[in-house]
Chains A and B, each alone.
Chain A
Amino acid sequence: MMLTGKWLDIGPTTQIEPGTARTLPVAGGEEIAVFHTMRGEFYALVNKCPHKAGPLSQGIVHGDTVSCPLHNWRISLRTGEAQGDDKGCTPTIPLKVDGGRLFLLRDAVMAGVVA
């Protein structure tokens, strides 16, 4: 995996089916969940619900939110904020799509890494 440059290439967009998410473990850091919505948008978040750290990557994706598989908190994929009456926020990782490939902002990916 290329670790140079500002953006980290994590492979082609086709490896994530719309309406699902896949995971990217970071050694020494937090696991990242990369989401592909039904509408074709991509988002990346730390794979932890702000409530009880449930793996958001395994939730049902609807609109641009995901429902956590543990207790059904609804988390915005855009901001990481819990929706409705629930309060809490999951860190997001800036993501861009270029030439059919997904890129994550390197600094944000490494943010949780203890050197």
Chain B
Amino acid sequence: MNAATGFHGATQMKERLVVIGNGMAGCRAVEEVLARDPDRFAVTIFGAEPRVNYNRIMLSPVLAGEKTFDEIVINGPDWYAGNGVTLVSGDPVVAIDTLTRTVTARSGHVEPYDKLLIATGSDPFIIPVPGNSLPGVVTFRDLDDVDKMLSAAEQGGDAVVIGGGLLGLEAAHGLSLRGMKVTVVHLMPTLMERQLDEAAGWLLRQELERRGQTILTGANTKAILEADGRVAGVELEDGTRLHADIVVMAVGIRPATALAKAAGLAVERGILVDDHMVTSDPNVLAVGECVQHRGACYGLVAPLWDMCRSLAGYLTDAPQGYEGSATSTKLKVSGIDLFSAGDFSGGDGAQDIVMRDAARGVYKRVVLRDNKVVGAVLYGDTADGNWYFDLLKKGEDVSPIREALIFGQAFASGGALSDPNAAVAALPDDAEICGCNGVSKGQVVGCINAGAHSLDAVRSQCKASASCGSCTGLVEKLLAITLGGEVESGPKPMCKCTSFTHDDVRRNVVDKGLKAIPQVMQELHWTTPDGCSSCRPALNYYLLCAWPGEYVDDQQSRFVNERLHANIQKDGTYSVVPRMWGGLTNPRELRAIADVVEKYNAPMVKVTGGQRLDIFGIRKEDLPAVWADLNAAGMVSGHAYGKSLRTVKTCVGSEWCRFGTQDSTGLGVKIERMTWGSWMPHKFKIAVSGCPRNCAEATIKDFGVVCVDSGYELHIGGNGGIHVRATDLLTKVATEEEAMTMCAAFIQLYREDAHYLERTAPWVERKGVDWVRAQLLDDPDAVGRLARRFHYSQRFSQDDPWAARAAGERRDLHAHLAEVRPLQLENA
């Protein structure tokens, strides 16, 4: 500060403005003040870092090698000297005394002030795990951090970045460009979950993985591992160990409030300020990431500029209050276009407009409330980001351009688009409608005029929208324009989230190799961010069926019964049905069931129609203990709760019955051993009767076997539900082995073809018995192929789900968070 000593004498009469913090906010505030009144204050800035003011948000390009430090300096030494600003760098303020109006620096230097500005910014949050202070664990906040990362990168090796937010991903990108093998460990299931929804987060993840980064989501760091006195790796809660030569902790920031708190200023999450950035002490102001204004703390740069303007206005007697900022985010990773602004969490009265273009990797979502834009998430095409952000800030009513809003400014501003069909009507005849099959608008309209009055008819006659289906909406509009109200309705879409039918979705999952729910939603143009309670379970099943052993079941997409492996009842308790193979039981099992009923006060035990015992009234907290008791007696889950094989009902057959022709009980047990645990489109019931008297009621089951002297009649598609349907005879076979193989093949055909929640009875009626017979019987190898696929998928599904839960897996699904016991009750 020697350079400015001379100035000091000459400016004694000026008010003394002391600024703590030489960062972006502190310097910008001084700039704003000087711009309004250059002669009013004698300014002294204290900086903790031993260097001039630089653009902190550009540290990412410096790390990535796209910029040098000199290029990101905002104010060089000349600026301080030229404006008479005293810079005290490398000597941070350690105390504020608001009574004597002085600050004390670490060196012991005391500086008096008239007005004090706190701009201490924020500190990186260090997660409290063992090893977090080892050499080689760095944060990503200032130039020293960047230098540490650069010197680590020179050695190459593995980097682990903890935190998949904006900062973490920029650090990961930089280290990856510098040649390190990078793994990102993120606690939440979606990258940048504060800025992105699930769909956009998934696209981002795909792109980063394509670039060679490893992304672990839902990953909780347990410890930083050490070797030879420095960092050697990261251990996750699930036991995974990752090798690391450097660990970057970028999980978030905390407003740096320690100084303000010690000085007795009002502090919550940040330093509390009013609309003029004044703290609880009228002579102390605060600005930037360290403040809390109207309940909000900001970690982005745009609000700082707004705050600095209000602060400067106040200090120069021209107050214009700060009212908070709307914020927008762009990820500074070259080649990835990503934009988010405002509130995109949806909610009441909020309406989503979603557009997905799988071919271009584009996802756009605009959220409206009361006909105003309140949020936007854009991935892959961010050209209109600023336009949406502008609409958001202005709070304009967008109803006149609503239909075209999602297509962007150029389109929406074309005017005359209040009719969504108008844009399509305005297309020239040679405009391409269906890119897959090269069909123009003229061809589609020609086809409609020639008599194709439904979507299906258009698809079959000119192939428009018959492949990927993404132009279905356009074809429907052309139908509406051409025919007026006379469009014949076609097959219904899966749910209101999509225009695709169940068949379309199943076909695309296989043809395109789609292996995750967010991927299906993106590729098939879902119009909601994360689906609904109708499509999520269906997609989960279709993926499970298409990719056995590969697809990881999504528990959040399962109905409660399949998550808790028990049946929910009207009072919120559960019923538990242990498996009894073929309906057989023994004293040990019966004793174990009796013991459970008494031990857990189950109010009712009932013999079911499927020849099992159902224990009612078990609380979800008690389920693991109940299962442990049943497991101990050798019983496993009966899957009475699942869209899966339920029971194989049998009669006593030739072993006891004087009419029995075959060992129906034994065959039933064998079939149940083969089929238990398999997931299906809906529940699936089997029965084996030992003679045509059919005591096991095999002819109202999904698959029924009726034994006769000469072999086994195999029946399909029966149902005893609302619409009773007797089975159709599929075929007759001579041996048990043939009966079992046909059973496996039929189940697999049903698994691969039926719609989710479609029982075999309506499925057989929809497809036709002849079709089913043809699939199974025309080609002599078909049954073998289907059965092999069934047996392969069974390798991954025949684990007793109760055993794992009884052993303590997923305790969170059963245990309460805690219990609240009000004091007055305890005292009473």
* Residues in chain A within 8 A of chain B (CB atoms): 1, 3, 8, 10-11, 14-20, 22-29, 32, 34, 37-41, 52-55, 58-64, 67, 69-70, 72, 74, 76, 78-79, 81, 98, 109-110, 113, 115
Contact = CB atoms under 8 A, between A and B. Distances in A.
Given A23-B816, A27-B820, A55-B568, 14 more contacts: A1-B821, A18-B556, A20-B813, A22-B812, A24-B817, A26-B822, A27-B822, A40-B193, A52-B570, A54-B572, A62-B533, A62-B536, A81-B348, A115-B825
A23 B817 contact: yes
Interface stretch (B142-150, B182-190, B654-662, B705-713): B182-190
A76 to B, nearest CB: 6
Contact of B530 (A11, A29, A63): A63
Interface string B263-275: 0000001000000
A37 B813 CA distance: 15
A34 B817 contact: yes
B828 to A, nearest CB: 8
A81 B817 CA distance: 24
Contact of A109 (B536, B559, B820): B820
Interface string B551-583: 000011111110110001010100000000000
Given A62-B533, A63-B529, A115-B825, A70 B188 contact: no
Contact of B189 (A38, A55, A78): A38
Contact of A15 (B531, B561, B620, B817): B817
B528 interface: yes
A70 B568 contact: yes
A96 B825 CA distance: 26
Contacts of A38: 189-190, 198, 530, 556
A61 B348 contact: no
Nearest to A58: B560
A70 B570 contact: yes
B197 interface: yes
Contact of B190 (A34, A39, A78, A79): A39
A69 B318 CA distance: 59
B313 interface: no
Contact of A1 (B220, B346, B347, B820): B820
Given A1-B818, A74-B533, A60 B188 contact: no
A22 B220 CA distance: 19
A27 B529 CA distance: 38
Contacts of A25: 816, 819-820
A81 to B, nearest CB: 7
Contacts of B187: 14
A39 B533 contact: no
B532 interface: yes
Contacts of B828: 115
Interface in B692-737: none
30 contacts: A1-B818, A1-B820, A10-B817, A11-B817, A14-B187, A15-B812, A15-B817, A18-B188, A18-B190, A19-B556, A20-B555, A20-B813, A24-B816, A25-B816, A26-B820, A38-B189, A38-B530, A39-B529, A40-B193, A54-B570, A55-B568, A58-B564, A59-B560, A60-B533, A62-B533, A63-B528, A63-B529, A64-B347, A115-B822, A115-B825
Contacts of B823: 3
Given A38-B198, A38-B556, A60-B556, A11 B818 contact: yes
A24 B819 contact: yes
Interface residues of B, number: 50
Interface of B: 187-190, 193-194, 197-198, 218, 220, 269, 345-348, 528-533, 536-537, 555-561, 563-564, 568, 570, 572, 620, 812-813, 815-825, 828
Contacts of A23: 816-817
Contacts, number: 141
Nearest to B197: A39
Nearest to B819: A25
Contacts of B561: 69
Which are the 9 A-B pairs with shortest beta-carbon distances?
A19-B556, A67-B533, A58-B560, A60-B533, A55-B572, A69-B560, A26-B820, A40-B193, A27-B821
Nearest to A62: B532
The A interface is mostly helix, strand or loop, or mixed, namely: loop
A90 to B, nearest CB: 14
Contacts of B347: 64, 76, 78
B825 A113 contact: yes
A41 B345 contact: yes
Contacts of A8: 820
A18 B531 contact: no
Nearest to A33: B817
Contacts of A37: 345
Nearest to A8: B820
Given A60-B533, A67-B533, A28 B346 contact: no
A105 to B, nearest CB: 12
Given A38-B198, A39-B198, A54-B572, A24 B190 contact: no
B93 to A, nearest CB: 25
Given A27-B825, A40-B194, A60 B557 contact: yes
A60 B817 CA distance: 19
A39 B345 contact: yes
A39 B193 contact: yes
B827 to A, nearest CB: 10
B624 to A, nearest CB: 15
B348 A78 contact: yes
Nearest to B193: A40
Contacts of A76: 347-348
A15 B817 CA distance: 8
A98 B292 CA distance: 14
B252 to A, nearest CB: 9
A58 B812 CA distance: 12
A60 B536 CA distance: 9
A14 to B, nearest CB: 6
A63 B188 CA distance: 16
A107 to B, nearest CB: 12
B686 to A, nearest CB: 27
A67 B188 CA distance: 23
B428 to A, nearest CB: 39
Question: Most chain-A CB neighbours within 10 Å: which of B194, B533, B564, B812?
Answer: B533
Contact of B188 (A15, A28, A40, A78): A40
Contacts of A39: 190, 193, 197-198, 345, 529-530
A18 B189 contact: yes
A28 B822 contact: yes
